[in-house]
Amino acid sequence: MGNDSFDSEAGSLGVSPDEVQFRFRDDEVADHGTVTVDACCDQTNATAVRIEPGDDARALLPFLDRLALVEVNFPTFGDGRGYSAARILREAGYTGELRAVGDVLIDQLSHMRRCGFDAFAPDKRLDEEDAVKAFATWDNVYQSAADGRKTIQELRHE
């Protein structure tokens, strides 16, 4: 995406328990710890929440206005439920930070970005150069997703 501001100071931004290595936002990093989805639904003032793979992202929809940070946890990179969670939140209009945490690896970055993640806090720091390349894997895309990019099919019929 042309207007991505890829934070070059990457690596020193982590303030929550997860260290954010890549962030595509200009606003202040939310500096409060996250609560579980259940707690978020019970507690009226939580502004940061963490989604585990088995959680229903739609349970958060009534509270999107007050949320500034949603972390989606990937305990193992092969569990792809978090991709759906991310898109569901973006489709519902969530504009706050959407952070992928956990077993986040180079080769998942481009798809995660497409699903609406705009911050990445991998368990293990990733090679910067490989990551920059990975974010730029696709010059064009076949599907419409949460990143608002025009699809190849749309470009063909402009």
Partner 1 sequence: MYKYDNYDQQMVDARVEEFRGQAKRRLEGKLTEDQFKPLRLMNGLYLQLHAYMLRVAIPYGTLNSAQMSALGDIADKYDRGYGHFTTRQNIQYNWIKLEDAADILADLSKVEMHAIQTSGNCIRNISSDHFAGATHDELVDPRPYAELLRQWSSFHPEFTYLPRKFKIAVIAAEKDRAAMRLHDIGIQIVKNDAGEIGARFFVGGGMGRTPMIAPMIRDFVPLDQLVTYAEGCLRVYNRYGRRDNKYKARIKILVHELGAEEYTRQVEEEFAHLLDQGVEPPRPELERLKPFFADPPFEDGPKTVDRSDPDFALWVDRNTHRHKHDSYVSAVISLKPVGGIPGDATGEQIRTMARLAKQYSFDELRVMHTQNIVLPHVKIADLHALWTELDAAELGAPNLDTIEDIIACPGLDYCALANARSIPLAQRISERFDKSGKTAELGELKLKISGCINACGHHHAGHIGILGVDKKGKENYQLSLGGSEAEDVSLAKITGPGFDEDGVIEAVETVTDVYIAQREDGERFLDTYRRIGMSPFKEALYGK
Site string for partner 1, 93-112 (x = CB under 8 A): ------------xxxx-xxx
Label the pairing between strands 22-23 and 119-122.
antiparallel
By CB under 8 A, residue 141 contacts partner 1: yes
Q: Whole-angstrom Cα distance, residue 60 to residue 66?
A: 10
Structure token pair of residue 13: 């931004």
Helix (H, G, I), strand (E, B) or coil at 27: coil
**Choice from 19, 52, 79, 123 touching partner 1 (CB under 8 A):** 79
- Type and span of the H or E element at 88: helix 81-91
**Residue 47 or 110: which CB sits closer to partner 1?**
110
* Window of 23-31, 34-42, 93-101, 136-144 that interacts with partner 1 by CB under 8 A: 136-144
Q: Helical H runs in the chain?
A: 37-42, 81-91, 109-114, 128-135, 152-156
**Choice from 40, 114, 118, 122 touching partner 1 (CB under 8 A):** 114
Helix (H, G, I), strand (E, B) or coil at 86: helix
**Choice from 87, 94, 99, 102 touching partner 1 (CB under 8 A):** 87
**What residues line the site for partner 1 (CB under 8 A)?**
53, 77-81, 83-84, 87, 91, 105-108, 110-112, 114-115, 127, 130, 133, 137-145, 151-157
